[in-house]
Amino acid sequence: MKQILILACVLFSVQVMAQKKSKIDPATQQVNSNKEAVLATLNGAYEADKKTALQIWEYAEVGYKEVKSAALHIQHLKEAGFTVETGVAGIPTSFVATYGTGSPAIGILAEYDALPGINQSKSPERDPIAGKEAGHACGHHLFGTASVSAGIAIKDLIAAGKLKGTIKVFGTPAEEGGSGKVYMVRAGLFNGLDAVIHWHPANSNGVTTTSALANKSAKFKFYGISAHAAAAPEQGRSALDAVEAMDHMVNMMREHIPQETRIHYVITNGGKAPNVVPDFAEVYYYVRHPKRKDVVEIFDRVVKAAEGAALGTGTKFSYDIIGGTHDLLINKTLAETMQANLEKVGGVNYTEAEIAFAKKIQPTMVTQVDIASAATIKPLTFISEGNSGSTDVGDVSYALPTVGLRAATWVPGTAAHSWQAIAAGGTEIGTKGMLVASKTMAMTAIDLMSNPVLLAKAMEEFIKSKGDYKYKALLGDIKPALNYRD
């Protein structure tokens, strides 16, 4: 009798589960099926994607010089059946890859530029690579690869007739100070899209819920008169004196600007020999603030400091705008959708060897964080301001609804733009995080392409967030500074 009761309970449970499954509408079943398909596709593509990412890690090409990196992504997109337009917005290393037709139209952003002045091997100990002048200290080798792979996974669903619409992958060079996306927004390349998806390497997993700092940057050039610094100093007018005078005035100005402001500079040319009065000197400035209006006003004061420095040292000056980016508009509707997908994908689990790597590299970091946190997902908490970085994704977010995530491609506690980020990004710690990102982006794209109500709600929120503001690039109408890294 007891066995009969147990059998009856099992049959009843099976029947209930079958009834629940049958209640799922066909549209939801298709979405779930599509998500399972992209997860399988991306798992299958992992080894090839890892090879691509590590190849670009080796290239380590700086902004607007990413010739080989862009070419590798373009090759893979063309092989997958995308139509690719290259050299868009006056940038040789940019591209737009398109597959499908009609609405909905979803974009995915891909970056691939490295940072100059820092490099590192894949070792958990400080080990610069001799002769290498740049490194992927911000993980853009992973960024571009995950985005391209997610785009191809969505293309496969469109080709199979399981999704309708258009997927576009945007190759966006020179995020690190070059403002590549700003020129692409200005050129109208995002017109006609319904939403844009992006991600960024990080030391944790979470959807982007804080804004970014607006940023305006320029190189200030001073022109003096050279002379023998000992025999005839009175005949010289030092361009380096002008740079130092400008820097001193800006540093005094820090007391009298909003405390959220960030101003950084490097002297990129200070002369060649101490016994020659420099007739040319150059300093490269960034000005950041949470609000674009304040950035413009503070930058104008920095220009006044340059003007005063030139006047006081008897030199002349000019400046070239290098970049200018908006703050980032957060779209809560899209963020909630991406959060659900990120939680389904989960974080990064380390092998014993990777745990050993992490334990060895952690003592070199300022901040100590639990290694196991790489496997967790941060809860969704919206903060209007608070991010300390800038990104040209901000300008995209003023063009249409935009959503992004961070994935743990570095050991927890790692700072961006560090040798530790380069090291982890060159290992499977980095590529595992990349896979988290590609899966989350692809699943989010499926939701957006399958749910017109969701897109409409996101657009309504975008219009409300943007308000009456009419977008205008902070860098004006200048051409891309293709040689800003020279």
Domains and their CATH numbers in the chain: 25-210+328-466 (3.40.630.10), 214-325 (3.30.70.360)
Whether the predicted pLDDT of 20 surpasses 70: no
The pLDDT, as a whole number, for residue 386 is 57
- CA 136: distance to chain centroid? 12
- Residue 401 corresponds to which tokens in the numbers above? 């609804």
Kindly report, residue by residue over 341-364, the tens digit of the pLDDT. 999 999 999 999 999 999 999 999
Which of the four pLDDT bands, split at 50, 70 and 90, describes residue 11? very low
**Rounded Cα–Cα distance for residues 424 and 428 (Å):** 8
Q: Could you tell me the two tokens for 275?
A: 């016994």
pLDDT, the chain, mean: 94
Rg for the chain, CA atoms, rounded:
25
If you average pLDDT over residues 36-64, what whole number do you get? Answer: 98
What is the per-residue pLDDT across 187-221, written as a single tens digit (0 to 9) for each?
999 999 999 999 999 999 999 999 999 999 999 99
Residues 304/482, Cβ–Cβ less than 8 Å = no
Residue pLDDT, tens place only, 393-402:
999 999 999 9
Can you tell me the distance from the alpha carbon of 406 to that of 390, in angstroms, rounded to the nearest whole number?
15
Instruction: Show the 3-state SS of 383-395.
Output: ECCCCCCCCCHHH
Look up residue 47 and give its two tokens.
């080894």
In terms of Cα–Cα distance, which of 202, 177, 156 is closest to 45? 156
Hey, how many other C-beta atoms are within 10 angstroms of the C-beta on 81? 13
Asked if pLDDT for residue 293 goes beyond 80, the answer is yes
pLDDT at position 5: 47
- Which of the 8 DSSP states describes residue 55? H
